[in-house]
Amino acid sequence: MSAAAPEQRPVRFGILGCASIARKVARAMLLAPGAAVTAVGSRSEEKARLFAADNGLPAAGLRLHGSYEALLDDPNVDAVYLPLPTSLHVRWATAAAARGKHVLLEKPTALCAADLDAILAACDAAGVQFMDSTMWMHHPRTAKMREFVDDKDAIGDIKVMNSAFSFRANKDFLQNDIRVKPDLDALGALGDIGWYCIRAILWAVDYELPKTVIALCDPVKNQAGVLLSCGATLYWADGKNATFSCSFLTNLTMDMTLIGTNGTLHVTDFVIPYQEKSAEFSVASKSAFAELHIGWDPLPNKHVVMTDLPQEALMVQEFARLVQKIRDAGGKPEGKWPAITRKTQVVLDAVKASIDKGSEPVEVVS
């Protein structure tokens, strides 16, 4: 009998900043095979200690750092998860890459494509893996939906796409959250939740960039000029179109609809499934009116996809696998993830430009 392959060393993560989203990802790192949290860095050691205690991070071997620099200098960290405000991403993501740390970056990844390019160039120069933390990409439902999207018989050619993500923010959020502060997260709702809508649309067309975007009229901004509610329509040269809307002002909604020549795919919780262990979507294929137009025939089919690990843990697991390949086997970083991030950012930039120009058409430049 051949000897069993040695178990790979886990990827040692440092969490750079103690934002609320970091709690969810810290839990994911505890659940994900191949990952371990070895360090937490905050602007004070006490804040790092509180974060570790509140999130059940094992004290044994955990290093607590009272500055971001100290965490990046920690030799026991392979990769950093970076949930800082968007305006700090360039500084700290490039610093992490320069110190040889792999970068799992919270979205929106940058305030503009030029800033993102600086981050990606730093990762490229250092030979480290980059991935953004768009978690739904890693849910097995997403792979199952891809099978239908690619099925020309079931769906055909996708012609129309709609996506919406909103939640009703409370008064405290609208006054104090970093996502409404122009110096921290200047993209507001567009960056925080519009990112997901744009990603869903690009995912549906296998990341073919649209030719033009036109922002929806009369976006809602706060007194500081940060977007609270907005949207846009995207146009492709071959006649495809997509519309999305995102808002901090309306009920929690996460819809994606893809309409093809032969079928329609609907999902109503695409960013965060209603339940952690199962997720649904529906497909209506070759739909027609029933006799006398009193119903549909055939009816749509519902598909349920189960998962043992939540999507954020699957994201961490995949990122860790890519890092292990580089660290332990001399592999090269996977280029798919930065390419997808950049396309999302480029479309987001065009939407922002159209908003700033009063909903004028803006060409998407790759």
Q: Give me the tens of pLDDT residue by residue for the chain, a chain 366 residues long.
A: 555 556 789 999 999 999 888 999 999 999 999 999 999 999 999 999 999 999 999 989 999 999 999 999 999 999 999 999 999 999 999 999 999 999 999 999 999 999 999 999 999 999 999 999 999 999 999 999 999 999 999 999 999 999 999 999 999 999 999 999 999 999 999 999 999 999 999 999 999 999 999 999 999 999 999 999 999 999 999 999 999 999 999 999 999 999 999 999 999 999 999 999 999 999 999 999 999 999 999 999 999 999 999 999 999 999 999 999 999 999 999 999 999 999 999 999 999 999 999 999 999 988
Shared domain for 303 and 317, answered yes or no, is no
Residue 6: predicted pLDDT: 61
pLDDT of residue 115: 98
130-132/102-105 β-pairing: parallel
Together in a domain, 57 and 118: yes
Tokens of 330: 């001399």
- Asked if residue 84 belongs to a domain, the reply is yes
Q: Is residue 340 part of a domain?
A: no
149 and 297 part of one domain: yes
What is the C-alpha to C-alpha distance for residues 133 and 151, in angstroms, rounded to an integer? 28
20-31 and 45-54 helices cross at what angle (nearest 10)? 50
Q: Is residue 209 part of a domain?
A: yes
Q: What is the distance between the alpha carbons of residues 108 and 267, in angstroms, rounded to a whole number? A: 22
Q: What is the pLDDT of residue 366?
A: 80
Distance CA 106, CA 18 (A): 12
In this structure, are 88 and 149 located in the same domain? no
Pairing relationship of beta strands 301-306 and 158-166 according to DSSP bridges: unpaired
> What are the beta bridge partners of residue 36?
12
- Residue 18, helix vs strand vs coil: coil
Q: Is 304 left (phi over 0), alpha (psi -120 to 50) or beta?
A: beta
In a domain, 37, yes or no: yes
Domain count, the chain: 2
Looking at the fold, whether 132 and 147 belong to one and the same domain comes out as no
23 and 161 fall within a common domain: no
Specify whether 276 is located in the same domain as 316: no
User: By residue range, what is the domain housing residue 161?
Assistant: 138-308+345-363
User: Whole-prediction pTM value?
Assistant: 0.96
Within-domain flag for 128: yes
Distance of CA 265 to the CA centre of its chain: 21
CA distances from 53 to 23, 304, 339 (A): 11, 36, 36
CATH code of the domain containing 173: 3.30.360.10
Whole-number pLDDT of residue 146? 98
User: Can you say how many angstroms the Cα of residue 48 is from the centroid of all Cα atoms in its chain?
Assistant: 25
Q: CB under 8 Å to 31, separation ≥6 — which residues?
A: 309, 310, 313, 316
- Does 162 lie in the same domain as 15? no
- Number of Cβ within 10 Å of residue 5's Cβ equals 6
Looking up tokens 């029933």 gives 290
- Same domain for 160 and 235? yes
What residues form DSSP beta bridges with 266?
A: 257, 282
Tell me which residues are annotated as active site: 107
